Chain A
Amino acid sequence: MKGEFILDRNHLSYWLRQMRKSRELIGPLMDGGKDIVFKSVDKIHELVLDCPASLPSPKEFLFPQYESMLRFTPLHLPLTKGGQGGVSLSEKAIEDLSDKTKRVIFGVRSCDISALSLMDKFYIEGHKDPYYARRRENTLFISIVCNNPDPTCFCIGLGTGPYLEKGFDIQMTDLGDRYFVQIGSHEGAKTVKAMSFLFRRPQKTDYEDQYEVFLSSKARFHKRINLEGIRQMILEEKVKDDFWQWVAGRCFECGGCVYDCPLCTCFTVTDRTYSEGIERVRLWDTCMFKGFTRMAGGVLPNEKMVKRTKRWYYHKLIYYPESLGGFGCVGCGRCTITCPGKIDMASIAARLKGLVLNEEEE
């Protein structure tokens, strides 16, 4: 279901307000001075649309930092003579705690939307993760064509932004006094249809204006990074071990790159014993820590930092394209913002290019 519409600027808040009646409305709000945080929207007029990147990425609404999965209440059966009994777990004793809230996430950036398609492949195709899948079904994303990229953004070289051709539910372009609304999914269409009296069909000038926004947005990027080139360098073994050693030496082991990245999927599962029962929770984890791959008996196959930092890059640049058909990076620039060691995707790509070019010249 495709469609293109125009929404008057004055009608946006009405539309969102109506949507909020059936879904939790999440959007970008300003806090602590200049921070952008995605949270439940109380006052719709406080939404900030021309905003810098938020931390962490909106993946937190599909794959949250802390997620209660289930609770089980073990039944204590008396011990019988034959040594039977003890703790039993019946079906009934297990309670599903997965989140069923319907949400609409408004004001998401294009890069984060393009990350979803790979996340879907990872979490839904093949082995289906019910927690992710349910949240995904219940969440509608309304993305905004980026007209204010951060200096750290580089989606433009990757085709993951600043605007999208497909893969979105609803994409909006800010044309000043009105929005150009594009529909990319069934759920998106339903939402627009329900309020169809707010929308009109676009005219020629609307298309022209939209095109102009696309152009001006593209012109605002500071960075252009060719990840394919970097991938080739690695595949051709032009990147030496001492480079990875240097990278590893600067890692603070904070995990921020993984936590913040819209395409990282590491998690751990742990049980918590409350008096009412045992709760199983899933938490964000990161492959940047040595204990992530600890084996029984305490062996740490990735004890050396260099193995972990290097693996992160190999995963994003080599393994992801092989297994999921796209880079494990959409150029959102969050790792650049968050990495205390400045060994994020963009910095490393820039540095590698410099290094290898220099060597070739010599």
Chain B
Amino acid sequence: MNKILTVCPYCGCGCGLYLHVENGQIVGVSPSRSHPVNMGSLCVKGWNAHEFIAHPDRLKYPLIRKNRRGSPENRRFSGVSWDEALNLVAAILDEIKKKHGPDSIGILSSAKCTNEENYLMMKFARAVLGTNNIDHCARLCHSSTVGGLAAAFGSGAMTNSISEIADAKVLFVIGSNTTEQHPMIGMHMLEAVDRGATLIVADPRRTKIAEFAHIHLRQKSGTDVALLMGIMNAIVNEGLVDVDFVRRRTENFDTFEETLRRYSPDIVEGITGVKAGDIRRVARIYAMEKRSMLFYAMGITQHITGVDNVRACANLVMLTGHIGLPMSGLNPLRGQNNVQGACDMGGLPNVYSGYQTVTDPGARKKFEMAWRRRLPEKPGLTLMEMMDRAYEGKLKAMYIMGENPLISDPDLTHVREALERLEFLVVQDIFPNETSEYADVILPASSYAEKDGTFTNTERRVQLLGKAIEPVGESRPDWEIISDLSSRMGYTMNYRGTYEIMEEIALLTPSYGGILHHRLQEGFGLQWPCHDINHSGTQYLHRKKFARGLGTFITVDFVPPDEPPDDEYPFLLTTGRVYFRYHTGTMCGRTAVLEREEPESFVEINPDDAERLGIRNRSMVKVSSRRGAIELKAYVTNRTPLGIVFIPFHFRDAAANILTNPATDPSAKIPEYKVCAVKVEPLVRPQKVKRVPSVDLEALRIT
């Protein structure tokens, strides 16, 4: 038995684990004890990260079909050789490019693939196809962070490191279900609480992390800007501002303050439903302790005001000077194992690797010279815009790598229609999924255990994967597929291995300048920025000055959600994830234990609402919005407050995203997954619900 050190393929914590190999098969997983993130622990997904690798459903050879709109005979997929499949893709993409221009093709890169693969994919889009139409699922989770923080600080990543958490004194967690979605970060937070830190959680739902909190603020969904402004208003009024920091390191405070004045805690109480006293208390606790860390996740970003929410968070840390020091900072928790890396590598329509913008002639010149091709100047389409253009018939072809938009995007009915209207769709994945049902060509990729390369976790740690087994079937690593395809389209990509790709990345990307595979082999990777070969990585950002020089206070104002509940659709639907599931279920759905734990979708509803509607625990209900309706089981629980219902988005049956509102943030184009209006009806005859009187835990809580 051999054991290979590698990185967990699930979430952004980036835990180190060993894959156990026996006779060319993966037979187990165990945690690394000295890894700085997981320190001998793993969450249930990590512990089961071995099983899906050899699942019989794996795609083993390329599949094509003659005509997906034709007769059943023509619609059937048949297995072909790599040569045939790639020649076909190359020919059709070429043809579409010639006929309709490069911008009629859209590319979805993947936060599940390695940095090297994302880099190649963006090179493929820009140099080979000649379009900036490349995006990936970060659009749906943290595009507001990337944009919001780039403007405020000059760098859109977690500022501090996971290993600092345990020594912090105040943890302010807003819109993150940390113990379930970033379990190993949750572990560090719990450790900090055990050591005496104060934990403040702001979340409308009573999540598990909220159970550990000393103060739990349950703001109304979609009112985060107001809440944060209220806290900042209290900080200013009570004289808790770090004046020296604001003066020396930031700009634009005065304009911001004018707006801030309008948000007194009492007014904010009216908007958010959080008591003014609590707002003041949180302001004092957060501002007065120097070792205060602020965390946020999807609860902040997935709103039409996502960017504003992020800016408000940035303003809060600048106001109190909690940045540029260990155990402080603004820490967005990135979801996918390599979503940080996919963004860093420029899998976005407006930037090259290292966030060098495509509109900047200097940067473009550099890449043009390195790649020996003229590059497009205009930023490309975002994920949602691609779907819209496809729907309108203007986008003709898409190439989707390791992503499943038919579960993950909002307003699925629209997405399905859009994919149907495409002339040509290539899907590259390890398993068949909902999206590949609409494909013309399916290319089988290798899983994380069958290739090497790097992942970048949420704390900017670039870590090396260990190749444990040979690719399953005829599948090939994504980077090989891309470079092969590219050669067939007349642009030779000649890499001997992923290390050569990394070398090119380091050459063209200042923040990855010193990151090379041989340096990652010892220890557990390097945290960017790492400018040159002697640089040992950066534990926390913005140390003496911000990446952009001065930090900017960007004025924000409260805007209500796009679709607030009304008489017809009286409930506010918020979506999210559950612990045993991961995203669209491609991997965890093929893992016996994980699949068993949460086999089906459900809607969480407050007991009072349930009683009023005559809904019993575990009975079937129908949830409908302006865009569609789904039927699923009700789960009656106090976790969800009055007037709000919660549905996890993972499931194919009763997919929450049939309901969600595709309204997006004006600049980041992130959809508002966290708020839309729905109505809930019992599917069986309403029943008189008898309830055991329950104790209000909130009232009993001593803080």
Q: Which residues of A come within 8 Å of B, CB atoms?
A: 24, 26, 31-40, 52, 55-56, 60-61, 64-67, 249-250, 252-256, 259, 268, 270, 272-275, 283, 285-286, 289-291, 294, 337-342
Contact = CB atoms under 8 A, between A and B. Distances in A.
Interface in B160-199: 179, 183-184, 186-187, 190-191, 194
Nearest to A99: B22
B44 A253 contact: yes
A337 B38 CA distance: 10
Q: Which 9 A-B pairs have the closest CB atoms?
A: A65-B28, A340-B187, A34-B34, A291-B596, A337-B40, A270-B592, A66-B27, A340-B41, A291-B597
B190 A272 contact: no
B261 interface: no
Contacts of A256: 31, 41-42, 47
A253 B42 CA distance: 10
Given A32-B16, A33-B524, A259 B47 contact: yes
> Looking at B2, B3, B33, B522, which has the most chain A CB atoms within 10 Å of its CB?
B33
A65 B29 contact: yes
Given A252-B179, A342-B194, A60 B28 contact: yes
A65 B2 CA distance: 14
What is the predominant secondary structure among interface residues of chain B facing chain A?
mixed
B681 interface: no
A33 B523 contact: yes
B28 A66 contact: yes
Contact of A40 (B1, B18, B212): B1
Interface in B27-70: 27-35, 40-44, 46-47, 50-51, 55-56
A34 B190 contact: no
B593 interface: yes
A33 B35 CA distance: 9
A278 to B, nearest CB: 9
B34 A341 contact: no
A254 B43 CA distance: 5
Contacts of A249: 211-212
Contacts of B184: 340
B56 A272 contact: yes
Nearest to A26: B1
B35 to A, nearest CB: 7
Nearest to A150: B33
B31 A338 contact: yes
Given A291-B596, A338-B41, A32 B56 contact: no
A289 B34 contact: no
B491 interface: no
B33 A34 contact: yes
What is the predominant secondary structure among interface residues of chain A facing chain B?
mixed
A309 to B, nearest CB: 14
Contacts of B30: 37, 55-56
A37 B18 contact: yes
B579 interface: yes
Contacts of B5: 31-32, 35
Nearest to B45: A254
Contacts of B55: 272
B41 A66 contact: no
Contact of A31 (B3, B29, B56, B211): B3
Given A55-B33, A340-B190, A268 B593 contact: yes
A340 B597 contact: no
B597 A290 contact: yes
Interface in B616-670: none
Interface in B91-140: none
A68 to B, nearest CB: 8
Given A39-B1, A255-B44, A342 B190 contact: yes
B581 interface: no
Given A65-B28, A255-B44, A255-B47, 17 more contacts: A32-B35, A34-B34, A60-B20, A64-B27, A67-B27, A249-B211, A249-B212, A252-B187, A253-B580, A254-B44, A272-B56, A283-B593, A289-B593, A294-B596, A338-B31, A342-B190, A342-B194
Contacts of A55: 30-31, 33, 40
B1 A289 contact: no
Contacts of B523: 33
A31 B170 CA distance: 35
Contact of A35 (B33, B183, B194): B33
B663 to A, nearest CB: 35
Nearest to A152: B40
Contacts of B35: 32
> Looking at B5, B522, B524, which has the most chain A CB atoms within 10 Å of its CB?
B5
A339 B41 contact: yes
Contacts of A289: 44, 593, 596-597
Contacts of A290: 597
A64 B593 contact: no
23 contacts: A31-B18, A32-B5, A32-B32, A32-B34, A32-B524, A33-B523, A35-B18, A35-B34, A39-B2, A55-B33, A60-B20, A66-B27, A67-B27, A254-B43, A255-B47, A256-B41, A268-B593, A270-B592, A272-B55, A283-B51, A340-B183, A340-B187, A340-B190
A252 B596 contact: no
Contacts of A338: 31, 40-42
Interface string B219-238: 00000000000000000000
B593 A285 contact: yes
A198 to B, nearest CB: 27
A66 B5 CA distance: 18
A256 to B, nearest CB: 6
Contacts of B40: 55, 337-338
Contacts of B47: 254-256, 259
